[in-house]
Structure 1
Amino acid sequence: MAVGRLLVIAPDHDLRRSLAFVLEAEGYEVDAVGALLRPISGYDAVVVDQKAIAGADGRTSNLVTSAPVVLLAARLHPDMAGAVAEVVELPAIGNAVSLAVRRAMQVPA
């Protein structure tokens, strides 16, 4: 049985595949897409690369979900910090994404 259901949004194909692989190995059911889907529902958490949702000013443009969001960001716009549950600074090292997902879902490691 899956630990939880995740949506991964990342425009880069290799990043998307890597994230899905790592999170599936952790026991999550993962749907991975290259662009934002609307509406986002039915997920326990959303892992999103900032490039998939950032406008020209660096702020999140149109991410609407009731699930906690784990944002992958190389440079976080200050206004984005309050809109997400966890931020993973890129490049992500080790199990940083998996741990951020667990914290966002409030699941003990």
Structure 2
Amino acid sequence: MLVIAPDYGLRRSLEFALEVEGFAVLSFDDVNAALASPGTAAGSCVVVDEEALLNDPLAMAAVRRFHKAVLLLVDRSRSMPDILGVRVLRKPILGNALITAIRLTDQSAGTGQPT
């Protein structure tokens, strides 16, 4: 499981929530750092906070280069167009919404095999 979030607190919170559920997690503060890491080949899903995409118009195209299911975390106040192949989850994330969304986004995560 890859997590990309510029905000350290959010990134650590996502890591913790995913690790508690048994997922192996690699986390990064930006898309380019994640792309440069050799460890990103593992895992089948990318959880991306929209803040990682805001200052780079090519960031979403870069996220697609992972060739993995994408779960995009967005602020409730912003409207987000539907993007093919991307599941959108609105923040704040309550309860088990993150894990449910991951399992819906990535079918292999739903099989009970943590990534």
Shared fold, TM over 0.5: yes
Query: Which sections of structure 1, spanning at least 5 residues, go unmatched?
Result: 1-5
Deviation, 1:55, is: 4.2
Of all paired residues, the percent bearing the same amino acid is 36
User: CA separation in 2, counterparts of 1:104 and 1:56?
Assistant: 24
Match of 2:88? 87
* Structure 1 residues 75-108: Cα deviation after superposition (integer angstroms, max 9, x where no partner): 2431x52241x21101111111111111111215
Structure 1 stretches of at least 4 aligned residues deviating more than 4 Å after TM superposition? none
* Structure 1 residues 51-79: Cα deviation after superposition (integer angstroms, max 9, x where no partner): 1023477x83532221100110112431x
TM-score normalised by the chain length of structure 1:
0.79
What is the CA RMSD across the aligned residues, in angstroms?
2.3
TM-score normalised by the chain length of structure 2:
0.75
User: CA separation in 2, counterparts of 1:56 and 1:45?
Assistant: 21
Query: Partner letter of residue 92 of structure 1?
Result: I
User: CA separation in 2, counterparts of 1:77 and 1:47?
Assistant: 16
Question: Which one has a larger percent helix, Structure 1 or Structure 2?
Answer: 2
1:26 aligns with 2:29: no
